[in-house]
Structure 1
């Protein structure tokens, strides 16, 4: 049934009470990113820190979820432990479709349980379990147990944390089903602060598909676009790991803590090498026919006999960059072994790899010693890095406790800020140049997916600040619309505005067609306003010195151009975050301002 309101389940872990709310605003916020920000306005607190029990953890889907292929993501929103401001993270797996089959547009979790808890949510039930016995369980072990205590069909999605989340690491992730994650900005720590080990979403009812000929005809057209053309071939074939060799050729591949932007060793961890030497199979998120998830294997021999244990490990470009090139680990199976440990600990692989790369250089330069690292960190030494990941996840000493709060925070204590590869958070894998460094450094969630700055750098060698700024603003706004749907960004080449309008029309949301650009602008403003109210100052962002020292295909980084773009983008963010006239009736969360921790 098409409805003009959002159906939201609110679970209060402190009281154990649950309620369903019908919240208006479909035409204003669409769903996904817009709905999540709207819900944070209702349930969040601007004058309380990220770990206050009453701060919400929000999961939201969009109006096309379950109706069209690749509308398969969930938006997770929260106040981040990384910078104590509002943020988002996205994941696939079965989470989105499970929420649709549970007849929910969003799930909001507030409060804090007295003991470690797991929650199962469906359309007809909420089951809260004491799982204190699972404290310290790694994320893989946790998943095995949860699948037994919360039985269900293929419409069940299990989201859980590992030790890193329990220990409140600022980049603890939420592991989703198998091989997917709410990876960035510390959603796992938010669950840990709530004593919430896991959430099971049980899709325990069906939903009707639109009647008439328009919907099945359009579905077939979109399905064919995604499966029979070359548009999505890259993602199914070698996957995003195919980026290794081209970025290396462009001198845009971060290597050895960004001391280099290319290496003759890169071929050893290329997408082609991973496919030849490690690939077991492809997998896909629920509702996706593409199959971009690439699953490799690691093999370990038991010490007592000649038998081997094989484990499956997902990989794509970002994990390979962070735990391969940044650590100069140049054997594909060894990269997978590091990723396997990161998966168990429940850490974001990009932040973990970049943090350990900084620690390795800091150890080399004498800023820290083995008294801090507990291991003789050395480029290419996968065994040592695997042990360091465990130290990081379990925060075995003061150094790792601080490193788990962010590389730059650790560098401010021990030294080495100049070579901390942090752009708002530990960098993504694109040393493409000035536009990307500004885009991620100042971007809303400090993600390479906030906008296509990395792609702009690869296509433009001119240094036109206005042109680059207009691209960042327009491209970011278009991505926000897809994030309100909540579609996989891999599909943005298919789901252009006219096709999204036709899709909305076919499922009964035709009245939204002409207002999508307005919705994108509204959500863009609302999200920036939330961050600015929580203390974000884009005009004070500093891009570390390491980014000024590199050379790409265009030559040395132009510091003056980068700084001019940084200042221009910061001014636009401040402008977008100012209270707009058409939201004058909407009161801010609080007049109190909170200094980021």
Structure 2
């Protein structure tokens, strides 16, 4: 590894913001960037430095770390920023990624990483315009009913059009729903694990960032050559075609055909109404336009137009609603809803509230089954009759959950683990590692991958992909474990840089080495792989500090009752695979 001077201005700059006394300062950390590149590598090390034993997720001194990578704003699809925090949802490592304009805005403002600590005494938003950081009173927008409206207001009152990003929370973050998200530039999010609740505890309503700096490469000829290579792979091959065409919603019919689509709280893995909520149906009848994150040519963000009446006099409003596979699964098949317009209305309700839609869908599905089994009554639900496919009841439940008028809805606002411990139904509370599951029930690889992942997400290691390979070409359990470990390591490197994972097959080790070299950073494949193992060790060190223990992992019976893509999964088989993973990883 070389320690050549980094060519991109601001690459080593860390902006520290203290909300308690409304102060800030900037530090340069070449030691971190030379070794860990950026993104999750730098964020993990900073969290280990900043975290004090015993600090709880919502304590003022628990930091939020936002970080981008050396390829952000430089190469196509390198659009992501990572947020690292301690999750109020499961107490573990909170790690979330968002696109939009945030990564670009951070780079152009001169900061690759932002560390936010402390808590304000009253609602604030922070405006970062290049080297000027301002703390603004946010009391007037604190109780707005929609996270989207906050962005509209701040765009009017703050300068910085173009290279600007606005991230903000909705009412769910304000009241501490533990799976509240952070809305990023309207159509993107820091979802999963409750960053919105951490913002809310700090009384931080929003963070606005804009910048006018320029990024320059040391060898423009080499940079242009590498840029053209990567751009052509993205737009002239089939590597990313599906993401532009139908988007991830293409997976609805694919997973349904494979009998791997969780349905009605995972009581089944096949949904008879899949055709009417498929990506094909949405594209044909509702797709209005496609949107890209800053610096991405794919256009994977699919926006539907929903026409909705607001009076009896034939007066309508046109809603623009972003949809994708996970949202359609969570609020569609998982709730037994086959009406595409009902799915869109439920998505919009969650977007306004500012909640993670996957968690919300699983929580509502669990509550529906609980009521159907007679374990809760209309006393708990405040008169609601939750039933599969009942859009009206689910819309009302989302509203009540965010308002938290009684103990039951307050419990739902803390997730399916908390609610099932209080009311029962733990056997069919479909979660792993305390996080509600995404839209896959494909076999051993998926369950194992979600259990062992840093953040218990399918994006950690794509365990479902190993199952799909095993479905077509039989693999031993050890081969599945090895595939998960290999993909985990590869994604650790990508998440230092940080390209969108939709372009993961574009940013191979070979192409990553070329891209880094053109901006003055020399790495070999062996060095990158060694770095990935270093990051793995440090992330598990953090997880353990936050209280994670493999021995505490619960495996709800529902996973072993419902046939998956690869058949019935046996619990003992999962436990043996867990043991094998731990031995290979040394954790």
Q: TM-score, normalised by structure 1?
A: 0.94
Out of 27, 30, 36, the residue aligned to residue 21 of structure 1 is 27
**Structure 1 residues 541, 516: closer, same or farther in 2, change over 3 A?**
same
Tell me the CA shift for residue 330 of structure 1: 0.4
User: Could you give the per-residue CA deviations for residues 57-76 of structure 1, whole angstroms, max 9, x where no partner exists?
Assistant: 11100011111001100000
CA offsets 1:459-496 (integer angstroms, 9 cap, x no match): 11546232222111111010110011111011111100
- Which of 401, 421, 425 is matched with 1:416 structurally? 425
Task: Give the match for residue 114 of structure 2.
Answer: 107
Matches within 5 A, 1:141-220: 141-220=149-228
2:17 counterpart of 1:8: no
Q: CA deviation at 1:393?
A: 2.1
Q: Which is worse superposed, 442-451 or 200-209?
A: 200-209
Deviation digits for residues 71-126 of structure 1, max 9, x if unmatched? 10000000110122222100000000000101111011100011000001132210
Higher mean displacement: 448-457 or 467-476? 467-476
Structure 1 residues 43-52 or 450-459, which shifts more?
Answer: 43-52
Q: How does 1:492-503 map to 2 (within 5 A)?
A: 492-503=504-515
Equivalent residue in structure 2 for 1:84, among 88, 91, 98: 91
> Conserved in 1, the CA contact under 8 Å of 2:443 and 2:565?
no
Give the Cα separation in 2 of the matches to 1:58 and 1:391: 31
Contact (CA 8 Å) 1:7, 1:22: kept in 2 or not?
yes
Q: Is the 8 A contact 1:269 1:330 kept in 2?
A: yes
> 1:376-435, CA deviations, whole angstroms, 9 ceiling, x for partnerless residues?
111101121111111122222211111111101101110111111112200000010121
Equivalence for 1:594: none
Q: Distance in 1 between matches of 2:307 and 2:569?
A: 42
Residues 1:478 and 2:485 aligned together: no
1:256 to 251, 264, 282: 264
Given the alignment of the two structures, is residue 315 of structure 1 paired with residue 327 of structure 2, yes or no?
A: no
For 2:73 and 2:40, locate their aligned partners in 1 and report how far apart those are by CA, in whole Å.
17
Q: Does 1:387 align with 2:396?
A: yes
Question: What is the Cα deviation at residue 45 of structure 1?
Answer: 2.0
8 A contact 1:239–1:293 mirrored in 2: yes
Asked whether the equivalents of residues 44 and 538 of structure 2 are also in contact (C-alpha less than 8 Å), the reply is yes
1:449 partner SS: helix
CA distance in structure 2 between the partners assigned to 1:420 and 1:212 by the alignment: 54
Give 2:449's aligned residue.
Answer: 439
Q: CA deviation at 1:178?
A: 1.7
**Is the partner of 1:556 in helix, strand or coil?**
coil
For the 8 Å contact 2:128–2:208, the answer to whether it is kept is yes
CA spacing shift, 1:205–1:463, aligned 2, 3 Å: closer
Cα offset for 1:352? 0.4
How far did residue 297 of structure 1 move? 1.7
Tell whether the 8 Å contact from 1:342 to 1:348 is kept in structure 2 after alignment.
yes
**Does the Cα contact within 8 Å between 2:8 and 2:216 map onto a contact in 1?**
no
1:377 alignment counterpart: 386
3-state SS, counterpart of residue 311 of structure 2: coil
8 Å Cα contact 2:277/2:328 also seen in 1: yes
Residues 1:42 and 2:52 are matched in the alignment: no
Distance 1:528 1:406 in 2: 23
Q: Which runs of 4+ in 1 moved over 4 A?
A: 511-514, 570-573
Identify which range, 494-503 or 377-386, moves more after superposition.
377-386
Q: Equivalent residue of 1:231, what SS?
A: coil
Q: Deviations over 1:108-148 (max 9, x none)?
A: 11000110000011322101100112122120121111111
Segments of structure 1 that go 5 or more residues without pairing to the other structure are: 577-597
Contact 1:539–1:570 under 8 Å retained in 2: no
1:124 & 1:540 partners in 2: Cα distance? 46
User: Is contact 1:501–1:513 with CA below 8 Å preserved after alignment?
Assistant: yes
- Partner residue, 1:362: 370
- State whether structure 2 residue 65 is matched by structure 1 residue 53: no
The answer to whether structure 1 residue 62 and structure 2 residue 69 are counterparts is yes
Contact preservation (8 Å) 2:273, 2:337: no
Asked if 1 retains the 8 angstrom alpha-carbon contact of 2:82 and 2:97, the reply is yes
TM-score for both structures, normalised by structure 2: 0.95
Q: Deviations over 1:537-559 (max 9, x none)?
A: 01321210000001134322233
Contact 1:169 1:404 in 2 (8 A): yes
Are 2:298 and 1:283 equivalent residues in the alignment?
no
- Is 1:491 equivalent to 2:540 in the alignment? no
Q: State the secondary structure of the residue aligned to 2:460.
A: coil
Look up the SS of the partner of 2:90 in the other structure: coil
How far, CA to CA, are the matches of 1:36 and 1:512 in structure 2?
22
Aligned ranges for residues 508-587 of structure 1 at < 5 Å? 508-511=520-523, 515-572=527-584, 575-576=586-587
| C-alpha distance in 1 between matches for 2:52 and 2:499 | 28
Cα distance change, pair 512–58 in 1 and its aligned pair in 2 (3 A): farther
Question: Does the CA-based 8 Å contact 1:505-1:513 persist in structure 2?
Answer: no
Please state if 1:329 is matched with 2:363: no
Residue 232 of structure 1 aligns with which residue? Answer: 240
Structure 1, 251-260 or 462-471: larger mean CA deviation? 462-471
Conserved? CA contact 1:504–1:513, under 8 Å: no
Question: What are the ranges of 5 or more consecutive residues in structure 2 without an aligned counterpart?
Answer: 1-6
Structure 1 position 159, deviation (Å): 0.2
Hey, what's the Cα distance between the residues in 2 that align with 1:392 and 1:332? 23
Equivalenced residue count is: 575
Q: Measure how far apart 1:566 and its partner are.
A: 2.3
Deviates more, 1:97-106 or 1:83-92: 83-92
Pairwise CA distance, 1:510: 1.7
Offset of 1:4 from its aligned partner?
Answer: 10
Contact 1:539 1:571 in 2 (8 A): no
